[in-house]
Structure 1
Amino acid sequence: MEKLTQPESVASVLKVFNIVSALADQKEAGVSELSQQLRISKATTYRFLKTMTTLGFVHQESEADKYALTSKLFELGSKALDHVDLIDLAHKEMEEICEAFNETVELGSIDEESVIYLHKVDSSYHLRMHSRIGRRNPLYNTAIGKVLMGYMPEAEVRALLAPVEFKKHTDKTHETVEQLLAELRLVKRQHFAEDIEEQEPGLRCIAVPVFDRFGQTIAAISVSFPTIRFDEKRKHDYIALLHNAGGNISKNLGYHNYPA
């Protein structure tokens, strides 16, 4: 008789999820194999598998004593993700970044050929980046725009920016798609983008990607500094905290392979 260290109902739930996890790691498995792997009796393993089969979470191969997961768990997970609010997920992470550096933090995404700002947490400094939710900026001279384009195929970037006129906001603004593409190759390798006084003199910005469950970049988080407050020695800290936030949001959206 198996010894339970938790109440029986809790122990049963743990066993069920252990079986699910084991089946998720392999295409299929038999009762004996699962029983040995999980150290659960064959009778208990068989009983749980039959119940899970009846509920539609597991199916049995017709010609062998093998069991495999169905797509029902994926369907349930997808439904749960449909109710996840990106801004709600991002807000706490953005607040932590703002609290750490006391600089403005923004969440943005691509809308047509522009960056649109979805959410922000403001610095308490009087001298700070002034923006508003719903505001649009060019893709080619913003850190958010560049990090979002950095994961696109070059042909897609060219098509996206074909109708865009590259305006010289400062003497550091890119003037052509070719100049931008050269930087985007670096962005994809390092998993962050920078705007160093390209949009506005005296303003510096760093952004990292946010991925959905399919691994697509759906948004980016940035932190902006007046250049007089940017500490080059702390640049690694800025990027690390941004990556931590981007990774946490992506994980809650269903993506677990954040690159940084």
Structure 2
Amino acid sequence: MAKTMSRARGRPKSFHDKTESVTIQSLDRALAVLKIVSDGSGMSLTEIAEAGDQSPATVYRILTTFGLHAVVDFDERTQLWHVGAGAFRIGSSFLRRTRLVEQSRVVMERMMVESGETANLAIIDHGEVIFISQIETHEPIRAFFRPGTRGPVHASGIGKAILAYQPIEQARATLRGGALEMFTDHTIVAENTLLEELDTIRSRGWAVDDEERTNGMRCIAAPIFNQFAEAVAGVSVSGPTVRMTGGRDAALGELVRQAADEITDAIGGRLPG
């Protein structure tokens, strides 16, 4: 004879699977407690219970459960509860997915239209530039970087733009990840010369790849900053030297820098200084 299955432990006897009521009340109460703790700067069990209109016993069980996952911390000395490192790690996943590509898309489309050149978005990973998005110009001769394409940091407009805003030792460490390979006669391979170039980039807010990776192609780039004012990505416009002449650098530099600042603001970042 088949055994009658017992009720799943923890399920209330009055449980009914109604499509119009799909929330979990205990989870809802727990999240309400977490919000209360996050709004305070250290709260006692009694204060949290009163603020949430819940019994101290219920709140204590919730806090203890959160504590097992480091979502909250209990200070034995003050007997107060605080938000823990676990909550920060979970929240950081939002910061990691601040929709950089999505937030950049409209800005990049405008960059492409106003400059007439291909707009690019890239980050640095393990000492290399990785292109993660691109809006191509309609010109027959144009730059093209398939998303996922990697390139050398020292011979990239975006790479140099990001490096320029890294602490000097971090920039040196990034550069030492590999030899500074020469791709063209314009490639900067001397570290001291490159560091001087980074000073120039910081002073004006944008970088130039002057045929340093590919003969006949130029790029103007600017950095994008996160909430800690750290350069985490960059945008650029790139195209052939017959169109992207040195005489356009200042205008394109301002265009790209303003675009990068707009994206920084859209992802909740802040500019250094």
Instruction: Give the alignment's TM-score, normalised by structure 1.
Output: 0.67
Deviations 1:98-136 (A, max 9, x none): 111221110001010110001000011111112211000
Matched AA of 2:259: A
Matched AA of 2:119: V
Q: Aligned-pair distance for 1:257?
A: 3.6
| 1:117 alignment partner, SS class | strand
Q: Aligned-pair distance for 1:258?
A: 6.4
Distance 1:113 1:252, change over 3 A: same
Q: Aligned-pair distance for 1:150?
A: 0.3
Q: Which residue does 1:125 correspond to in 2? A: 139
% identity of equivalent residues = 30
Q: Given the alignment of the two structures, is residue 163 of structure 1 paired with residue 177 of structure 2, yes or no?
A: yes
Deviations 1:56-105 (A, max 9, x none): 7578xxxxxxxxxx99xxx8x97865652100000110000111122111
Matched AA of 2:191: V
Q: Which residue does 1:254 correspond to in 2? A: 268
Q: Which residue does 1:196 correspond to in 2? A: 210
Quick check: 2:166–2:230 contact (8 Å CA) kept in 1? no
Within the candidate set 228, 231, 238, 2:242 is matched to 228
Q: Which residue does 2:228 correspond to in 1? A: 214
Q: Given the alignment of the two structures, is residue 92 of structure 1 paired with residue 111 of structure 2, yes or no?
A: no
Deviations 1:144-192 (A, max 9, x none): 1101100112222222222312222111111221121111111112111
In structure 2, what is the Cα distance between the partners aligned to 1:82 and 1:114?
19
Q: Which residue does 2:115 correspond to in 1? A: 101
Q: Which residue does 1:172 correspond to in 2? A: 186
Distance 1:142 1:83, change over 3 A: closer
In structure 1, what is the Cα distance between the partners aligned to 2:228 and 2:181?
34
| 1:238 alignment partner, SS class | helix
CA RMSD of aligned residues (A): 2.8
Distance 1:251 1:177, change over 3 A: same
Q: Which residue does 1:152 correspond to in 2? A: 166
| 2:214 alignment partner, SS class | coil
Moved more, 234-243 or 113-122: 234-243
Q: Given the alignment of the two structures, is residue 116 of structure 1 paired with residue 130 of structure 2, yes or no?
A: yes
Q: Which residue does 1:43 correspond to in 2? A: none
In structure 1, what is the Cα distance between the partners aligned to 2:186 and 2:233?
25
Quick check: 2:124–2:233 contact (8 Å CA) kept in 1? yes
Q: Which residue does 1:39 correspond to in 2? A: none
Q: Which runs of 4+ in 1 moved over 4 A?
A: 54-59, 77-83
Which consecutive unaligned segments of at least 5 residues does structure 1 have? 1-53, 60-69
In structure 2, what is the Cα distance between the partners aligned to 1:252 and 1:185?
27
Instruction: Give the alignment's TM-score, normalised by structure 2.
Output: 0.64
Quick check: 1:247–1:258 contact (8 Å CA) kept in 2? no
Distance 1:241 1:163, change over 3 A: closer
Quick check: 2:230–2:272 contact (8 Å CA) kept in 1? no
Distance 1:131 1:178, change over 3 A: same
In structure 1, what is the Cα distance between the partners aligned to 2:246 and 2:189?
26
